[in-house]
Amino acid sequence: MTLKYLLSLFAQLAFSEHSSVGLNIHCHKQGNNLLYVALFSLHGLIRPTHLELGRDADTGGQTRYVVELANALAELPNVGKVELFTRLIKDPTVDANYGIAQESLAHPNASIIRLPAGPEHYLPKEDLWEHLDEFADHALDWFVQNNQQPDLLHSHYADAGYVASRLANQTGIPMVHTGHSLGRDKLKRLTSAGLSLQEIENDYKITQRIEAEELTLANADLVITSTTNEREDQYELYDYYNPETMRIIPPGVDLNLFSSQDNTENNDAVDDAVDIDKVCQNLTKPLTDPKKPMILALARADQRKNSRSLVIAFGKNKALREKANLVLILGNRDDISDLNDGARDVFTELLLLVDKYDLYGSVSLPKHHDSQDVPYIYRAAATTQGVFINPALTEPFGLTLLEAAASGLPIVATSNGGPVDIIENCQNGILVNPLDTEGIASALLELVENKSKWLQFRDAGLKGVKSFYSWQAHAKSYAKAIFSLVRKSNSIDISTLPDLKIRKNFCGAIFTGFDQSLTGDQEALNNFKEMIRTNRKQLGFGIATGRTRDSILTQIKKNNIPSPDFLIAGLGSEIYYTKDIILDKQWMKHIDHLWSPSSLWPLMEELPGIRLQEHIHQSRFKISYYYDANLAPAIDDINAYLRQNDQAVNITLSLGQFLDITPLRASKGNALRYVAQKWDIPFENILVSGGSGADEDMMRGMSLAVVVKNRHREELSNIEQGQNIYFAQSAYSAGIMEAVEHYDFLALLNAEK
């Protein structure tokens, strides 16, 4: 019975007209009831087949999981299209296929979409943070250009969670998240291992990662966890911890691909035996007695995978060395000296340990293996009545444990994380403290020596994986969870506009703040106004401000500034069009999501150094305070305080003394992107002027940005001058004019005519 048939069977059961998860909705611009699911997994090297698992720390089990998930979802009868969004890479050091913008997956309704973000060459995930807004802009543009919004966004890992959060805030599309591994748990483990906070920050950008995870938890309608440990112990470390939004849905394993030799179909038995023999020859070349039971570890060359403790355990235990061989599959390499620092350190230490304990002839560290050979590697170990071990310091889930169990291998695994659930369900192995080398050796020796227990664990593992961890079980549980979200969706149609008397077709636009941006230099302001008037047919003019509508209109009139085509007021909480000041009511309905000012006020009253501003500065979707830095908590502490009290909001501090709270979906950047899509203005043809913390998300991404000289640049500490960020030498409107010249902005618009 094939995977395709079983998925189809389960899907039909899940979506029968009598099912509690039956679907009857109108999908965006498809004209049918078939869903469009967008998956996001940004880092690593992702392609349809021959995944380079173990190539580096970013190309591990997550890359295989998202590819298999995309194919499995596409099998469901109510899913019309699945697109897996990842980063476009053009780099001579990697396969050219990673530079193909669109590539089909195994199922005809599933494909990989690669979008640019930052430089073209391959980057580790820690270097992607500053490019994520660009990726989000490209994704939103992809939806618009293809005239179709997804019905569901599903992000994988913190970087994709940040991108999906941006898209969910801009569109209202339901969002699902799978963490795969979590920053706060990692921080706890690394500090326990003796690393300083500065070292961790330098190597892992842990602050940005954790903040992205908090943002993701605030936005996600559903968080999929793999294990009880992940839901109850790891996510509990977060301010936005809400177990009610979390579902334990373990990853699936392809039982057609990973199976024991005993389960192999008769007509494939000969070829299978040939493949196992071929793999065995590669694995056992350095071994003196290759027939001894094989202790197999398959992981990345990463300190967290704790291969060091495994080799020490094996080296110190004479009985174990006499009865078994140790085979370490740690990715592919040509020359250890060419590897990144982390992998090079791992291999160097392992080779030193092999020499220290004189393990020559008992340990194999193959230099190469093909990802297609992995099922045969497991089976080769099983034919020797070997054992699979995962001794990681912590393991979020442990997909290799399932693959090994499905291949007929008993397992020994770390007691930190997902393996606890796997062994509890399957009853097929022994949990160990990953730092207890004697305990590791004892567990391995017990399974190598005790053949009856080996057989008992093998059989239990084969049965347990089939019952709990098949892709069929995963797809069925996933389907029930996500389609209930889609039925409740209130996403907005980003293609519709309010009724306007005149609809202009702008080639581009300038958006600027008001105070300290436009005003302050009358001569420069006059030059700016003349530029706007001269180019009014092709150039849209927008003001984005923290002021209320009435306050900014008074100032516009006082300074004789041309009426803006777009007015973003109240820090993105209100949007108006044309000189008639037509309110976009759809936007107001959109940002009302999770907004509860009646709950916020009493919480804020508890804080010292914070005082409510006058009524004129308040609006329905903006609560404004005076902030005394000498008395009030730090902004990060206020954020954590509100998150812990279930308040999903945006907090903005401007000029060091004005604190504003708006709905989670309301920001200048979200409002600007909403307007750009409504009016069909390309992001790359928008020039944004800003300088306070409230402007940061407006200045990131594909738009062109300028920080005028007089603005408070310390509030933009995360913004660095680059291709799309220009720090002007002039102040006020003169700085904007300087940026117009720097980018040759008007010529850019003329080229678009």
We report the CATH number of the domain holding residue 530 as: 3.40.50.1000
Residue at a domain's end among 664, 697, 726: 664
114 lies in some domain: yes
Q: Return d(Cα 163, Cα 161) in angstroms, integer.
A: 5
- Residue 691 burial (CB count, 10 A): 28
Which of these ranges, 396-400, 408-412, 571-575, 586-590, has the smallest mean pLDDT?
396-400
Query: Residues 403-407: what's their mean pLDDT?
Result: 96
The two tokens of residue 674 are 């909403």
Q: Return d(Cα 348, Cα 346) in angstroms, integer.
A: 6
Three-state secondary-structure class, residue 16: coil
Rounded percentage of the chain residues whose pLDDT exceeds 90: 68
Residue 723 confidence (pLDDT) above 50: yes
We report the CATH number of the domain holding residue 615 as: 3.90.1070.10
Closest CA to 662 of 570, 531, 750: 570
Do 228 and 121 share a structural domain?
Answer: yes
Chain Cα centroid distance, residue 594: 22
User: What does pLDDT average to over the chain?
Assistant: 88
The pLDDT of residue 262 is 65
- CB contact burial 20-36 (16+ within 10 A = b; e otherwise): ebebeeebbebeeebbb
18 lies in some domain: no
Do 604 and 567 share a structural domain?
Answer: no
| Sheet containing 649-654: order of strands | 610-612, 623-627, 658-663, 649-654
Do 618 and 547 share a structural domain?
Answer: no
The pLDDT of residue 425 is 93
Three-state secondary-structure class, residue 30: coil
Residue 272 confidence (pLDDT) above 70: no
More confident residue, 716 or 394: 394
By CB neighbour count within 10 A (0-12 exposed, 13-18 middle, 19+ buried), where does 83 fall?
A: buried
Nearest 10 degrees: Cα torsion 276, 282, 285, 287: -60
Three-state secondary-structure class, residue 333: coil
The band of 690, judged by pLDDT with boundaries at 50, 70 and 90, is confident
Q: Count of alpha carbons within 13 Å of 121, Cβ hemisphere only? A: 3
Residues spanned by the domain of 659: 594-664
Dihedral class, residue 745 (left if φ above 0, else alpha if ψ from -120 to 50, else beta): alpha
Residue 26 confidence (pLDDT) above 80: no
Q: Return d(Cα 175, Cα 168) in angstroms, integer.
A: 6
Residue 23 confidence (pLDDT) above 70: no
End-to-end CA distance of the chain: 58
Query: Residues 653-662: what's their mean pLDDT?
Result: 90
Residue 67 confidence (pLDDT) above 60: yes
Q: Are 137 and 216 in contact (CB under 8 A)?
A: no
Residue 212 confidence (pLDDT) above 90: yes
Do 558 and 707 share a structural domain?
Answer: yes
162 lies in some domain: yes
Q: 363 forms bridges with which residues in the sheet?
A: 326
Which of these ranges, 295-309, 491-505, 581-595, 716-730, has the smallest mean pLDDT?
491-505
pLDDT 10s digits, 508-538: 999 999 887 898 889 999 999 999 999 998 9
- Phi and psi at 657, nearest 5°, equal -145, -5
What lies within 8 Å, CB to CB, of 181 at 6+ separation is 157, 396
Do 616 and 480 share a structural domain?
Answer: no
Residue at a domain's end among 487, 517, 536: 487
- Amino acid letter, 115: L
Q: Which long-range contacts (CB under 8 A, 24 or more apart) does 342-347 make?
A: 342/57, 342/301, 342/302, 342/303, 343/56, 343/57, 343/300, 343/301, 343/302, 345/303, 346/301, 346/302, 346/303, 346/305, 346/307, 346/308, 347/301
By CB neighbour count within 10 A (0-12 exposed, 13-18 middle, 19+ buried), where does 613 fall?
A: middle
3-state helix, strand, coil in the chain (%, to 5): 45, 15, 35
207 lies in some domain: yes
Do 39 and 150 share a structural domain?
Answer: yes
Do 609 and 567 share a structural domain?
Answer: no
Do 318 and 269 share a structural domain?
Answer: yes
The two tokens of residue 309 are 């403790």
Q: Return d(Cα 229, Cα 210) in angstroms, integer.
A: 19
For residue 649, the surrounding DSSP H or E stretch is strand 649-654
The pLDDT of residue 525 is 94
625 lies in some domain: yes
Do 387 and 303 share a structural domain?
Answer: yes
* Local structure of residue 251 (DSSP, 8 states): P
Task: Give me the numbers of helices (H) and strands (E) for the chain, helices first please.
Answer: 27, 26
- Phi and psi at 286, nearest 5°, equal -80, -5
- Phi and psi at 607, nearest 5°, equal -95, 135
Closest CA to 42 of 138, 132, 147: 132
What lies within 8 Å, CB to CB, of 487 at 6+ separation is 23, 25
Q: How many domains does the chain have?
A: 4
* Local structure of residue 613 (DSSP, 8 states): P
More confident residue, 720 or 328: 328
Three-state secondary-structure class, residue 497: coil
556 lies in some domain: yes
Q: Return d(Cα 221, Cα 226) in angstroms, integer.
A: 17
The pLDDT of residue 430 is 98
Q: Return d(Cα 108, Cα 360) in angstroms, integer.
A: 49
The band of 603, judged by pLDDT with boundaries at 50, 70 and 90, is very high
- Amino acid letter, 406: A
Dihedral class, residue 605 (left if φ above 0, else alpha if ψ from -120 to 50, else beta): alpha
Rounded percentage of the chain residues whose pLDDT exceeds 70: 90
747 lies in some domain: yes
Three-state secondary-structure class, residue 264: coil
Do 619 and 677 share a structural domain?
Answer: no
The pLDDT of residue 397 is 83
We report the CATH number of the domain holding residue 376 as: 3.40.50.2000
Residue 1 confidence (pLDDT) above 50: no
The pLDDT of residue 494 is 61
Do 658 and 520 share a structural domain?
Answer: no
Which of these ranges, 4-18, 255-269, 581-595, 659-673, has the smallest mean pLDDT?
4-18
By CB neighbour count within 10 A (0-12 exposed, 13-18 middle, 19+ buried), where does 134 fall?
A: buried
181 lies in some domain: yes
Do 90 and 55 share a structural domain?
Answer: yes
Length of the chain in terms of residues written: 753
Q: Return d(Cα 238, Cα 179) in angstroms, integer.
A: 13
